Structure 1
Amino acid sequence: MTDEQLVERMADGDQAAFEVLIHRYHGPLLGYLERHLYNRERAEDFVQETFLRLIRQLKKGRLPEQIRPWLYRVALNLCRDYWKSLGFQNEKQQIAETPDRRDEGPSVVEIYERQETRKEILMSLHELGELQKEIIILRFYQDLKLHEISEIMEIPLSTVKTNLYQGLKRLRSRLIQEGVQIRHKKEGENTYA
């Protein structure tokens, strides 16, 4: 059953359709929000708020045309609103006031293990511009299509494509500088870090 069919059934009061939709998107949305917020509890709250906003939309009789981009756009907007909030600014200030710890540097084994993990790639991602980082996360971590990313970010498809290409190029270059092994698919196919 498609997402849109589930939403139509939800609008008609079908609780099972709502549970299927939550089961389908809770995990991906949670992962997406955790990458942005670095706080699982807040990410859980934002996932819940995303679904609540969907219910409110349905009660008003407004069904989103494509549910997946709509859910991610709502989640992203919740993050943006939070980053503008006074609570976030206070948290940021408290972190800035925390005394610096001496960098003891990881061992060679720890460096190797860290470079082989998604965490290392995510850390490198955060050195990209916000737009490029967001597009790469939506494309490769959330497995969204380029036209869906265009809808979520509310930017032209050509801008998504350009920033995806440039972001991947910068990410690859950054990872090579750090010594992370780049895996190549068969010749003639795309290269992924």
Structure 2
Amino acid sequence: MLTDEQLVQAMARGDQAAFEAFVHRYHGPLLGYLERTLQDARKAEDLVQEVFLRLIRQLRNGRPPDPVRPWLYKVALNLCRDYWKSPGYRTGSHLVEEPPERMDSEPSVSEIYERQETRKELLETLDELPEVQRHIIVLRFYQELKLQEIAAALEIPLSSIKTHLYTGLKKLQKRLLGRPKESLKERKEPPHARTDR
């Protein structure tokens, strides 16, 4: 199996098969990350395409990113930030929708409901964390990036990443364990705006 860097080098030489393999490797993870971050599946798909377009531009300009994985998530996060500043987002014309749930046919209806409630509670609690802690936890546990890759993607020192991760996980644990079920409510505020906690 070729490394990311080997695929990128082949892409820079115009290898279409390498590009397809690279897209196959990263389309799903980037889409999942952007859906969680934006809470808008359609916009997430648009931004995934833009990430790949920017990679192609980098390669055409003779500047392949190294390492490539943190660069992809850095670009994705910057695209999210640009979108949140856009007039279309601020006027409320964006469509918020939940990504489709993946359900296998094995579990019972009650098990599916319980999983959905747990997932909903976790995502709501995660949205209450400060932006930097939320991004670090999502990149570490949902996208499986290494701490060094997260530091590169967010342009934050590794020691700060470790501190934010530890603090964020402690807050998440405290809020999940101490939260009564009836206090769960839909959040109207966009997730990136809650940076004061």
Residue in 2 that maps onto 1:102: none
Under a length normalisation based on structure 1, what TM-score does the superposition of the two structures give? 0.81
Counterpart code for 1:82 = Y
Residue in 1 that maps onto 2:65: 64
Give the superposition deviation at 1:115: 7.0
In the aligned structure 1, how far is the partner of 2:175 from the partner of 2:39? 22
How many residue pairs get matched?
A: 166
Per-residue CA deviations over 1:39-92 (Å, capped at 9, x if unaligned) read 111000000000000000000000101111010000000000011111111017
Residue in 1 that maps onto 2:74: 73
CA RMSD in angstroms, aligned pairs only: 2.2
Matches within 5 A, 1:1-193: 1-91=2-92, 113=114, 117-178=118-179
Are the counterparts in 2 of residues 29 and 72 from structure 1 also a CA contact under 8 Å?
Answer: yes
Per-residue CA deviations over 1:78-132 (Å, capped at 9, x if unaligned) read 000011111111017999xxxxxxxxxxxxx89x726753232111100011111
Change in CA separation of 1:42 and 1:173 when aligned onto 2, cut-off 3 Å: same
Report SS of the residue matched to 2:91.
helix
Counterpart code for 2:61 = K
In the aligned structure 2, how far is the partner of 1:150 from the partner of 1:74? 14
Q: Percent identity?
A: 64
Are the counterparts in 2 of residues 114 and 120 from structure 1 also a CA contact under 8 Å?
Answer: no
Are the counterparts in 1 of residues 40 and 95 from structure 2 also a CA contact under 8 Å?
Answer: no
The answer for unaligned runs of 5 or more in structure 1 is: 96-108, 181-193
Indicate the structure (1 or 2) with the bigger Cα radius of gyration.
Answer: 1
In the aligned structure 2, how far is the partner of 1:151 from the partner of 1:126? 23
Counterpart code for 1:137 = V
The answer for unaligned runs of 5 or more in structure 2 is: 97-109, 182-197
Counterpart code for 1:70 = W
Per-residue CA deviations over 1:138-193 (Å, capped at 9, x if unaligned) read 0000000000000010010011000000000000000101269xxxxxxxxxxxxx
Report SS of the residue matched to 2:81.
helix
Report SS of the residue matched to 1:117.
helix
More contact order relative to length (CA 8 Å, sep ≥ 6): 2
Give the superposition deviation at 1:37: 1.0
Counterpart code for 1:57 = Q
Under a length normalisation based on structure 2, what TM-score does the superposition of the two structures give? 0.79
In the aligned structure 2, how far is the partner of 1:172 from the partner of 1:166? 10
